[in-house]
Amino acid sequence: MKKWSIRTKITLLFTVAMTLMATLSCLIVFSVSHQVIQKTVRDNLIENVERNVDEIEYYETLDEIQPDPDFTNHVDLLFPYKSGFLEVDGVFTSLYNQDQELIYGENPIAVASQSVEFKNSVIQTVNADHTKYYIFDRMLKTGSQDLWLRGVVSKDQGHAELSSITRLSLILMPLLIL
């Protein structure tokens, strides 16, 4: 290194400094991106469950059901429940009774989430098949018994976006250093 010219030494010093700064910048971007994506996944879960709360109606008799003239081709699912009827419209989450029995919908981690108590408007986490899941519950008042709407989403749902950011950064970082 003693035989290198001043120009080569300064160029090497700047190259090492640029590499360190680019690496540090990428690490910060990855960290912030991961946090933002996880917040987005949780917010989308809450938004989906909250939107579906308005989509479930309880009727004591069939005479109470009024068709919506704006949606003539729209079909709601109507099924008997206790002494009345539940109308479900567009629910992509799962509907449970107070005894944690599934009434409608699907829960991809039903077995793992059975031990998770229902908590109104609280995000909870559970691990199933080596994956972390977010769970969000909302209580619905229907007649004499409360129902629970449970939404479940994988923490890894935003993995594709983070992979895209990582790939782009790994391509651009060497170009930035050059």
Phi/psi class of residue 129: alpha, beta or left (left: φ > 0; alpha: ψ in -120 to 50)?
A: left
pTM score > 0.85 for this model? no
Is the pLDDT reported for residue 48 higher than 90?
no
Point out the least confidently predicted range of 31-40, 70-79, 84-93, 96-105: 70-79
Q: Which two tokens stand for residue 105?
A: 């919908």
Contact, 118 vs 90, CB < 8 A? no
Is the pLDDT reported for residue 129 higher than 80?
yes
Question: What's the residue count for the chain?
Answer: 178
- State residue 85's pLDDT score: 72
Point out the least confidently predicted range of 4-18, 71-85, 89-103, 139-153: 71-85
DSSP state at residue 112? H
Task: Please tell me which residue, 92 or 42, carries the higher pLDDT value.
Answer: 42
Is the pLDDT reported for residue 92 higher than 70?
no
Contact, 162 vs 168, CB < 8 A? no
Average pLDDT over residues 147-175: 81
Phi/psi class of residue 143: alpha, beta or left (left: φ > 0; alpha: ψ in -120 to 50)?
A: left
76: pLDDT confidence band, cut at 50, 70 and 90? low
Pairing of β 102-104 and β 56-59: unpaired
Q: In angstroms, what CA-CA distances link 123 with 46, 95, 137?
A: 8, 17, 7
- State residue 130's pLDDT score: 86
Is the pLDDT reported for residue 74 higher than 70?
no
Distance CA 4, CA 11 (A): 11
